[in-house]
């Protein structure tokens, strides 16, 4: 009887309106969080070492480097008075006497700290000739008298160039667009307006376009060549396909330099390819085409090097497509081509997308191959980044180029996600 009463009581109890409580009265969601906290802490501790490593050696350097692209503090700390005086300059005409006076005073101090070369070098990145200008002005700063403006211009007419002052002003600011402008072949004119650099100095846009275009071609070629191989790999009996898989993977495991050197040996003027072609009479011996140290060499080697990155995701997707789909299509009346095109091919799209994205992103950042095989016409944007990092030491510009590349890839990735959907992607 009591059991029945109890049952009736529970059955009649009003439906809970607030959060559901656990048996001990704690809200269920809190209880769940308590119970799973330990597991989450353990999981976090497991990844913590790698996370710390990545933060210190990967994320932080990237941020510091990218920070360089928006301006350096050299000019503003070494020329504090000039920087302050230029802040109110409207860039319509040459600065007035007080700015020149501030500059001379700053240069006197900088000369004592032996910093004029450093300042000059920094401004020289955006205004050629600035380095010697600053060094010699620093040397004679002690002996210059007012009016400073006239004295400096008399000493070197470049001091009367408004563009120089625009550059001094922009480099003395904490954030300046000048590196990004330079990265797309733009600069600041005498009045501070954005202008194209002289035609003979325009290079970055061309290289950017070439890099994206070449990556696109490499991706297409990898798809065209990789698809049949992946198809074969996934359809052959296991013994044969394993052997073939080793053939695909062997170059993947070989050092990049070795492979590139091999391509040089194959493609050079008296290399295997051209010698064979000449011997077969396909190529005129007196007029051998250039296959290496240009865009062709870069293209051939990149397609070869990146092929496994296309084949592996494709293979893994094809492996999961049972042969019954094509059989079903055939039994339903489709020709073998229709069965392939309408039933098999659409199911491999995630693999094509994954391989394509992988190859494209890898080839956009390709550096060693174009450096060794590219010659003049095969130089890519990474080579320019390297040039500015290790030769011209213009890290700001290098960072701006890298930043633009990163943005371009992120945009592509976003587009890809919109069109294909990143969740449909299947990597090896």
Residue ranges binding other proteins (CB under 8 A):
322, 324-325, 327-336, 338-339, 342-343, 346-347
Distance in angstroms (rounded) separating the CA atoms of residues 284 and 264: 20
Q: How far is the CB of 324 from other proteins (least distance, A)?
A: 4
Q: How far is the CB of 334 from other proteins (least distance, A)?
A: 5
Nearer to other proteins, 347 or 417 (CB): 347
Q: How far is the CB of 283 from other proteins (least distance, A)?
A: 44
Nearer to other proteins, 336 or 392 (CB): 336
Nearer to other proteins, 49 or 333 (CB): 333
Nearer to other proteins, 71 or 350 (CB): 350
Nearer to other proteins, 339 or 380 (CB): 339
Nearer to other proteins, 225 or 344 (CB): 344
Q: How far is the CB of 382 from other proteins (least distance, A)?
A: 37
Q: How far is the CB of 218 from other proteins (least distance, A)?
A: 28
Q: How far is the CB of 344 from other proteins (least distance, A)?
A: 10
Distance in angstroms (rounded) separating the CA atoms of residues 225 and 303: 9
Q: How far is the CB of 321 from other proteins (least distance, A)?
A: 9
Q: How far is the CB of 348 from other proteins (least distance, A)?
A: 10
Angle (CA) 97-103-104 rounded to 5° is 90
Nearer to other proteins, 2 or 324 (CB): 324
Nearer to other proteins, 281 or 346 (CB): 346
């Amino acid at each position: 009887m009591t059991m029945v009463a109890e049952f009736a009581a529970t059955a009649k109890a009003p439906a809970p309106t607030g959060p559901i409580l656990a048996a001990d009265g704690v809200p269920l969601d809190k209880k769940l969080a308590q119970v799973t906290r330990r597991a989450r802490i353990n999981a976090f501790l497991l990844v913590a070492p790698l996370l710390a490593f990545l933060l210190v050696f990967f994320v932080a350097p990237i941020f510091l480097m990218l920070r360089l692209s928006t301006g350096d503090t050299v000019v503003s700390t070494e020329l504090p008075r000039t920087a302050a005086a230029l802040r109110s300059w409207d860039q319509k005409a040459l600065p007035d006497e007080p700015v020149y006076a501030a500059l001379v005073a700053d240069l006197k101090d900088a000369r004592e700290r032996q910093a004029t070369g450093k300042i000059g070098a920094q401004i020289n990145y955006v205004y050629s000739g600035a380095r010697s200008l600053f060094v010699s002005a620093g040397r004679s700063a002690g002996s210059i008298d007012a009016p400073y403006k006239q004295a400096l211009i008399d000493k070197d007419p470049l001091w009367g160039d408004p563009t120089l002052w625009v550059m001094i002003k922009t480099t003395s600011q904490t954030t300046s667009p000048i590196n990004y402008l330079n990265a797309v072949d733009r600069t600041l004119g005498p009045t501070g307006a954005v202008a194209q650099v002289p035609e003979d100095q325009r290079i970055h846009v061309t290289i950017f376009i070439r890099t994206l275009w070449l990556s696109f071609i490499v991706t297409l070629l990898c798809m065209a060549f990789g698809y049949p191989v992946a198809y074969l790999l996934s359809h052959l009996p296991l013994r044969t396909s394993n052997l073939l898989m080793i053939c695909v993977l062997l170059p993947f495991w070989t050092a990049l330099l070795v492979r590139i050197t091999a391509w040089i040996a194959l493609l050079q003027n008296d290399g295997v390819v051209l010698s064979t072609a000449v011997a077969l009479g396909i190529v005129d011996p007196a007029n051998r085409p250039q296959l290496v140290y240009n865009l062709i060499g870069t293209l051939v080697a990149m397609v070869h090097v990146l092929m496994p990155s296309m084949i592996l995701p494709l293979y893994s997707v094809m492996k999961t497509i049972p042969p019954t789909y094509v059989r079903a299509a055939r039994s339903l009346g489709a020709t073998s081509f229709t069965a392939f095109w309408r039933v098999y091919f659409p199911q491999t799209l995630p693999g094509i997308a994954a391989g394509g994205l992988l190859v494209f992103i890898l080839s956009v950042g390709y550096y060693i191959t174009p450096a060794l095989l590219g010659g003049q016409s095969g130089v890519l944007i990474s080579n320019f980044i390297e040039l500015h990092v290790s030769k011209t030491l213009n890290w700001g510009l290098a960072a701006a180029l890298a930043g633009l590349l990163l943005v371009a890839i992120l945009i592509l990735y976003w587009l890809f996600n919109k069109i294909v959907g990143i969740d449909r992607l299947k990597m090896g």
